[in-house]
Amino acid sequence: MSSSIKKQLYEALANADGNYLSGQALANIIGCSRTAIWKHIEELRKSGFELEAVRKKGYRLISKPAHLSEHDILFGLATKTIGRSFHYYDSVESTQTIAHKAAREGAPEGTVIIAGEQTGGKGRMSRPWHSSKQKGIWMSMIVRPKLPPERAPQFTLITAIACARAIEEVTGLEPHIKWPNDILYKGKKLTGILTELQGEADKVNFLIIGIGMNVNQTKDDFPEEVKERATSLEIESGNSVSKTKVVQNILKYFEKYYNLYMEKGFAPLKIMWESYAAGIGKPIIARTLNGEISGIALGITDEGILKVEDQDGNIHHIYSADIEF
Ligand code: BTN
């Protein structure tokens, strides 16, 4: 679906100041068929716009969504590809699932799926991800890098840098990154990233990068089991934070770092990642699928793999784990 038609449609209806515009009038203004208008009216409705349709009169805009809207995000978006195809849903089970389907059906590089609420948000290691209504950023990005699948985990680190940078820019807070996918503030979790791969033995077909960022929750908005470990930008900054601005900045920095990575490899990103890293040089426990490793976190390799030195001086390379420190 073309975001540009949707944007033009929204603008035409908004400019009509609450008056009706017929399907034909809208089709003439935008330069598309009446069927296309009807389809895009339905898309606007799914995005939270309230629209009235009256026979022989046409369509009338009653209200626009009071939350993140595609329109607001696209207007301030400083990217070339990331987020240029953008779909907002009021409520979905998981933006990851929608993004997988869209990617299989050919959605272009940089497509972003965002939801006001997720009823079955997914975290790493099959954990649930609590995604309360309108309080956070629940989004998935589709990218199609021409790379072998073993490079995919680096996208989690690149995304983490983009999120940390966006948080800094919008709120002035200085977050940290806990390898591989958590963004923390004073030890509490602000953001989680879930990178899922669809590929073949030697190439990535697409990656779905899911970002869950806690933005305007108060302490009581978190479920009991995560209350002590989670925090939000509002709790930490003391102010309500514009999700639109945060999304625009995540997309801007992600595009910038993704391009840098495709041009120069992971080395420049590694330096940036290290400037945000938490727990490096400290004792940690890494819980992997094959058991626990305790030791000192030495840093990451040029590939983004965590190095841990155990008490016998053995260096372990950790590809995937939950870290405790
Ligand atoms: C984690 O820390 O375990 C990763 C959490 C990732 C959550 C995001 S929210 C948007 C996207 N949709 C999902 O269902 N999960 C990711």
Query: Which amino acid is residue 4, in one-letter code?
Result: S
Does residue 129 line the site of ligand 1, with CB under 6 A? Answer: yes
What is the pLDDT averaged over residues 112-138?
A: 93
Domain boundaries 70-276, CATH class:
alpha beta
Does residue 100 line the site of ligand 1, with CB under 6 A? Answer: no
d(CA 6, CA 129): 30
- The pTM (predicted TM-score) of the whole model is 0.82
Give me the residue spans of the domains in the chain. 3-63, 70-276, 283-324
Mutate to test the pocket of ligand 1, among 87, 131, 155, 226 (most ligand atoms within 8 A of CB): 131
Does residue 304 line the site of ligand 1, with CB under 6 A? Answer: no
CA of 137 to the centre of ligand 1 (A): 10
Does residue 27 line the site of ligand 1, with CB under 6 A? Answer: no
d(CA 19, CA 51): 11
CATH number of 283-324: 2.30.30.100
User: Is residue 1 predicted with pLDDT exceeding 50?
Assistant: no
The candidate with the shortest Cα–Cα distance to 213, out of 297, 134, 309, 137, is 137
CA of 68 to the centre of ligand 1 (A): 18
| Helix residue spans in 16-78 (DSSP H) | 23-30, 34-46, 70-75
With bands split at pLDDT 50, 70 and 90, how would you rate the model's confidence at 10? confident
Does residue 194 line the site of ligand 1, with CB under 6 A? Answer: yes
With bands split at pLDDT 50, 70 and 90, how would you rate the model's confidence at 306? very high
Does residue 118 line the site of ligand 1, with CB under 6 A? Answer: yes
With tokens 């509490």, the residue in question is 188
Give yes or no on whether 3-63 and 283-324 have one common fold. no
Quote the mean pLDDT of the chain. Answer: 93
115 has which bridge partners?
Answer: 89, 138
Centre a 10 Å sphere on the Cβ of residue 232 and count the other Cβ atoms it contains: 24
Q: Taking a C-beta distance cutoff of 8 angstroms, is the pair 258, 158 a contact?
A: yes
pLDDT of residue 67: 66
d(CA 125, CA 287): 11
DSSP H or E run through 92? strand 86-92
**Going by CATH, does the domain composed of 3-63 fall within 1.10.10.10?**
yes
The verdict on whether residue 189 carries a ligand-binding annotation is: yes
Pairing status of strand 322-324 against strand 291-300: unpaired
The verdict on whether residue 118 carries a ligand-binding annotation is: yes
Does residue 181 line the site of ligand 1, with CB under 6 A? Answer: yes
For 211-264, write each residue's pLDDT tens digit: 999 999 999 999 999 999 999 999 999 999 999 999 999 999 999 999 999 999
Angle, vertex CA 47, rays to CA 43 and CA 49, nearest 5: 95
d(CA 201, CA 28): 49
Q: Supply φ then ψ for residue 66, to 5 degrees.
A: -90, 20
pLDDT of residue 25: 96
Protein residue with its CA nearest to atom 15 in ligand 1: 122
User: Is residue 17 predicted with pLDDT exceeding 50?
Assistant: yes
Atom of ligand 1 nearest to the CA of 189: 2
CA of 213 to the centre of ligand 1 (A): 9
Query: Which amino acid is residue 210, in one-letter code?
Result: G
Does residue 212 line the site of ligand 1, with CB under 6 A? Answer: yes
Q: Taking a C-beta distance cutoff of 8 angstroms, is the pair 261, 278 a contact?
A: no
What is the pLDDT averaged over residues 277-287?
A: 94
For 69-104, write each residue's pLDDT tens digit: 667 787 778 899 999 998 989 899 999 999 999 999
Q: Taking a C-beta distance cutoff of 8 angstroms, is the pair 119, 111 a contact?
A: no
Atom of ligand 1 nearest to the CA of 191: 2
Question: What ipTM score was computed for the predicted complex, to two decimals?
Answer: 0.99
Sign of CA dihedral 273, 276, 282, 286: negative
What is the pLDDT averaged over residues 151-166?
A: 97
Mutate to test the pocket of ligand 1, among 122, 124, 189 (most ligand atoms within 8 A of CB): 122
